[in-house]
Structure 1
């Protein structure tokens, strides 16, 4: 029997490819950079399975180009704002993602960014490498204390909760804002619910863990920065567009807030001529919060499992639009 054709839009960890290859004919995009939109339109023609990344725009036009043969879309990520879910659902195409596996890696990295920004680790490293270190100074590169400070968490899902759990070791006061209050977890995690304005006003560190939606687009802009403490440090490992980059530049360049640390930007990657890159009080990493060996391998496994289930006509282990199965049954 002929194997179904699948297109994988970037090389994923080998474990995922090994799971897929016995059951499908793989067309793998080998370039380091993601395929262009025009390439996507061409490559999806006639395929039965698609394994894609956040960098790939999968919209109505792409789904039309794929045609009726496309049976499943498997996203190598937790988020899926690059995919038109309603368009996929209308065509009864299940869409899978990789939730849960990224939680600890992303929470760990959030703390890496928080501590590096608070204690000015990157600035110190640059200073040493530039030959500037001549002596020890009592007031040189002073940073913010973490222990017993206030941590504000925006978005209290799996990752936000994991960040709060780690804060207990620093004896921090934890405030969180989320559309849904998590009463059962508040005592366990030592966290208290507060309106967004209160979190912004009271927190020494503000960490973003909410998904990108129309409601959270530029959730943090000039008005929100105006509420923050002058010594506040902002951390974003969620989605770049949750923070207005121009407002962020104004807040950092005028020292409205002390510093920020980002693993995500708007746009992404950040252009080399972005004014944000001129700021000493901003730390930026290239979207690597989930980049641990274990988490990326497990993501590949989960993406492969979703893809293969869809090709077999089975329900995806992790499906973001399960209503496609209800429609099928109807």
Structure 2
């Protein structure tokens, strides 16, 4: 039996497409990942699919699920969905679950590459790379080191909010930097923490004691704007905030004010709100805020691996088998 699989964005890698085309018909929906035009194209062309690969940052809503599944109550044609991302806060899990549709994702793929970027952001923000590049390129390179003094990682206390697989990978990398103490906070104890030498504390203690605060937790109702005007006041004036998770974890206006007034030393952000962020956004004007365009997982190896996992999730779901990495 031939199945129809829709892929939300045409930039899906050929290595995954080759797997799908052996047993299914595949249809791409759009090239454009952002903007109302691409979302309109998706809605106009998604009707009547058996499998859906959601490789876009557009929210997957009840409306789109209804369109994809034809007449939902009488003909629930949509049998399986897979995201190519490691997160799924852009998918309405309640609506997917209500329809009884298996949902897969690309679990564990990005751990190492995102951890690499976390360390890079720590160094870039703490050592004032943005200011240095601006001064160098503008011809204002000043002699002497006094104007560009930064913060050391050696001997520091590093606090990680969310000691999941990415947080653990960050700790392993930082072991070579002679960090004095690692702290973490989270909803439950992590058995790996003891082996890694990481102490569990409250969020309040972590913020008060850490020289570096690394956000590596999922975005949920509980963690939304976890870093806000109140929690920023708990941090050291010399602290560096690093966000490699989701922009929504941070109340961005509050962070802007804290950085502008030098109430914390610096921030390194690979995720912001919104994405893409406008070029004239005020947070980009700060010399002590180093921002990269959500590139933590952007390696060729990761891209291909995510495509393969998504394809395998879809093929297993179409056969009525358990998914490789299920969310639901």
Q: Which residue of 2 aligns with 1:326?
A: none
Q: CA deviation at 1:140?
A: 2.9
The one of 166, 169, 177 aligned to 1:159: 166
Tell me the TM-score normalised to structure 1 length. Answer: 0.92
The one of 248, 264, 274 aligned to 1:267: 274
Tell whether the 8 Å contact from 1:54 to 1:82 is kept in structure 2 after alignment.
no
- Tell me the distance in 1 between the aligned counterparts of 2:102 and 2:45: 19
Correspondence list, 1:1-330, <5 A:
1=1, 3-10=2-9, 11-34=11-34, 36-53=38-55, 55-67=57-69, 68-133=76-141, 136-172=143-179, 173-182=181-190, 184-321=191-328
- Tell me the distance in 2 between the aligned counterparts of 1:13 and 1:121: 34
- Tell me the distance in 2 between the aligned counterparts of 1:62 and 1:194: 42
Q: Deviations over 1:95-146 (max 9, x none)?
A: 000111111111111111111111122322232222223x631313111111
- Tell me the distance in 1 between the aligned counterparts of 2:193 and 2:262: 33
Tell whether the 8 Å contact from 1:6 to 1:24 is kept in structure 2 after alignment.
yes
Partner SS, residue 53 of structure 2: strand
Unaligned 5+ segments in structure 2 are 70-75
Q: CA deviation at 1:32?
A: 4.0
Tell whether the 8 Å contact from 2:8 to 2:53 is kept in structure 1 after alignment.
yes
Partner SS, residue 213 of structure 2: strand
- Tell me the distance in 2 between the aligned counterparts of 1:255 and 1:143: 13
Tell whether the 8 Å contact from 1:221 to 1:248 is kept in structure 2 after alignment.
yes
- Tell me the distance in 1 between the aligned counterparts of 2:257 and 2:313: 43
Number of aligned positions between the proteins:
318
CA RMSD, Structure 1 to Structure 2 (Å): 1.5
Q: CA deviation at 1:280?
A: 0.9
Tell whether the 8 Å contact from 1:110 to 1:235 is kept in structure 2 after alignment.
yes
Partner SS, residue 238 of structure 2: coil
Partner SS, residue 113 of structure 2: helix
Q: Deviations over 1:204-248 (max 9, x none)?
A: 000001101000111110000000000111000101001001111
Tell whether the 8 Å contact from 1:220 to 1:242 is kept in structure 2 after alignment.
yes
Q: Is 33-42 or 121-130 further displaced after alignment? A: 33-42
Tell whether the 8 Å contact from 2:8 to 2:56 is kept in structure 1 after alignment.
no
